[in-house]
């Protein structure tokens, strides 16, 4: 029997899934597939909490599909070799998947497309994780935007409610089959993480207060939707619909995500190189002892330390505190943004390459930003403004205010002047 494959990647849901919807239109039965990509997993720690989250999500998908009389085929290995195995077992007519714009994903999909085409099989990719992609939001001359405000303005001009319409993919014509059991975490070299992932808070109450509460780390004023957008357990279309109803500010944050995605697509060098190439001349200090104090939350600046400890303990850090901790590392300590980006990449549940790189380069002054390099967040004034009663700080730094808490590791006035002088001398 000829079959169609839908390849799950960053879209781990049955409802409102563009590729899954398109895969059903031919009338041939659909086999849902997920590949644990060994090329990606080999770079991760054994207790990586995101692998546990993906595995748990696949178990739920597996149950959901069995209730529909079908199943989820889950493989582990190099995607190209996995597809060789699949073609030896199934009469595959087409393969559908949703687009991914990260450099590795583009390279992987190009290789898989070439292999499938050699066997006369069409590999069709669909837009799903963003409302607009590639060259859909560009300047009048066709060049990509490199500043958020005009990008967001153009995004809103182009948007209409048709872009937020859900795809009725839950009605897909799945093949009636019973697949093998999902590979265990242990069989792939992993173990269950102790960090749990909850559902996001997308209630009207939270979203309507988002603009007023989002900068206060002591209260649960943010949605925590990040990991669910990263792995597609919630569609961007449903998120945009909620934002349009309840919060313009939250909508702007979702557009930031789209902005960073298209930046990475158009400027892939920014993954490891400065977006503003002349900033590659900055001589980062990269003091190992300073970096270790930052990682462990022992800088002597309590809001910075609270954020770093929250990150390591939970896989989450409040966005206001993310900006502060990143600025502190790059500006006050003059440590390379790539080292901070890598640490966040290791620990963040909601880690997304384009957003992480984009935000770190924004904080370091090297990225796509209209403001010059002299934006330097002051950890003391940030605490006074956003955690005035030390509520968030005492939650994560219980020894704050005692003799066990370290003294500030650096004089802020000296650090600011050193930063500005270093940038000025090397960019002139």
pLDDT score for 1:
86
* Superfamily of structural domain 271-427: DNA Cyclobutane Dipyrimidine Photolyase, subunit A, domain 3 (1.10.579.10)
Q: Which fold has domain 129-167+202-266?
A: 1.25.40
| Start-to-end Cα distance in the chain | 67
Q: What local confidence, expressed as pLDDT, does residue 368 receive?
A: 87
Give the per-residue pLDDT at 171: 93
pLDDT of residue 384 exceeding 70: yes
Question: In whole angstroms, how large is the CA radius of gyration of the chain?
Answer: 23
Across the range 333-339, mean pLDDT stands at 98
Residue 372 has pLDDT above 80, yes or no: no
pTM of the model: 0.95
- The closest alpha carbon to 12, from 82, 89, 80, 100, belongs to 100
Locate the domains of the chain by residue range.
Answer: 1-128, 129-167+202-266, 271-427
Query: For residue 369, what pLDDT is reported?
Result: 78
Share of residues in the chain with pLDDT > 70 (%): 99
Assigned token pair, 397: 């730094």
Average pLDDT over residues 248-264: 97
The predicted pLDDT at position 401 comes to: 95
CA 36 to the chain's CA centroid: 18
pLDDT in tens, 193-240: 999 999 999 999 999 999 999 999 999 999 999 999 999 999 999 999
Res. 370 pLDDT band, cuts 50 70 90: low
pLDDT tens string 272-284: 999 999 999 999 9
Say what angle helices 337-347 and 353-364 make with each other, to 10 degrees: 150
Q: Does the pLDDT of residue 371 top 90, yes or no? A: no
Find, among 79, 74, 73, the residue nearest to 115 by Cα: 79
C-alpha distances out from residue 117 to 4, 60, 192, 283, Å? 15, 32, 38, 47
pLDDT in tens, 47-69: 999 999 999 999 999 999 999 99
Q: What pLDDT shows up at residue 322?
A: 98
Q: Rounded to a whole number, what is the largest CA-CA distance in the chain?
A: 73
Average pLDDT, integer, range 88-100: 97
Average pLDDT over residues 412-420: 97
**10, 38 contact by CB (below 8 A):** no
Fold for the domain defined by 1-128: Rossmann fold (3.40.50)
Q: What are phi and psi of 2, to 5 degrees?
A: -70, 135
pLDDT at residue 428, as a whole number: 74
Euclidean distance between CA atoms 356 and 100, whole angstroms: 16
Residue 33's SS3 state is strand
Joined together, the tokens standing for residue 144 give 């990509």
Convert the pLDDT of each residue in 13-23 to its tens digit: 999 999 999 99
Sheet containing strand 30-37, edge to edge, reads 73-77, 30-37, 2-8, 91-98, 122-126
Task: Tokens 């993919």: give the residue.
Answer: 169
């Amino acid at each position: 029997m000829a079959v169609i494959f839908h390849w799950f990647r960053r879209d781990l849901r049955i409802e409102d899934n563009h590729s899954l919807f398109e895969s059903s239109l031919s009338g041939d039965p659909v086999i849902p597939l997920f590949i644990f990509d060994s090329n990606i997993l080999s770079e991760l720690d054994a207790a990586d909490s995101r692998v546990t989250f993906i595995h748990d999500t696949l178990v739920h998908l597996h149950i959901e599909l069995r209730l529909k009389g079908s199943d989820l085929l889950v493989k582990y290995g190099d995607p190209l070799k996995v597809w060789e195995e699949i073609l030896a077992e199934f009469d595959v007519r087409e393969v559908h998947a949703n687009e991914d714009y990260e450099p590795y994903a583009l390279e992987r999909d190009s290789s898989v497309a070439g292999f499938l085409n050699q066997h006369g099989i069409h590999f069709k990719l669909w837009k799903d994780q963003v409302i607009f992609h590639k060259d859909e939001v560009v300047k009048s001359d066709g060049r990509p935007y490199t500043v958020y405000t005009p990008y967001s303005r153009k995004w809103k001009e182009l948007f209409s409610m048709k872009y937020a319409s859900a795809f009725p993919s839950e009605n897909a014509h799945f093949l009636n089959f019973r697949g093998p059991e999902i590979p265990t975490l242990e069989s792939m070299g992993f173990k269950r993480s102790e960090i749990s992932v909850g559902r996001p808070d997308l209630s009207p109450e939270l979203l309507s207060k988002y603009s007023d509460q989002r900068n206060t780390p002591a209260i649960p004023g943010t949605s925590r939707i990040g990991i669910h957008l990263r792995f597609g357990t919630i569609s961007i279309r449903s998120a945009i619909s909620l934002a349009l109803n309840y919060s313009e500010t939250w909508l702007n944050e979702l557009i930031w995500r789209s902005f960073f995605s298209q930046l990475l697509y158009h400027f892939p060098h920014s993954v490891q190189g400065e977006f503003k190439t002349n900033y590659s001349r900055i001589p980062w200090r990269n003091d190992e002892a300073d970096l270790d104090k930052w990682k462990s939350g022992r800088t002597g600046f309590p809001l910075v330390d609270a954020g770093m400890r929250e990150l390591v303990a939970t896989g989450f850090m409040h966005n206001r505190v993310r900006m502060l901790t990143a600025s502190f590392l790059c500006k006050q300590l003059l440590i390379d943004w790539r080292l901070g980006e890598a640490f966040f990449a290791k620990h963040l549940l909601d880690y997304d390459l384009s957003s992480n790189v984009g935000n770190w380069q924004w904080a370091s002054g090297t990225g796509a930003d209209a403001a010059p390099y002299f934006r330097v967040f002051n950890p003391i004034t940030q605490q006074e403004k956003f955690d005035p009663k030390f509520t968030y700080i005492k939650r994560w730094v219980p020894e704050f205010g005692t003799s066990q808490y370290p003294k500030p590791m650096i004089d802020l006035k000296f650090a600011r002047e050193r930063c500005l002088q270093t940038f000025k001398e090397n960019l002139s």
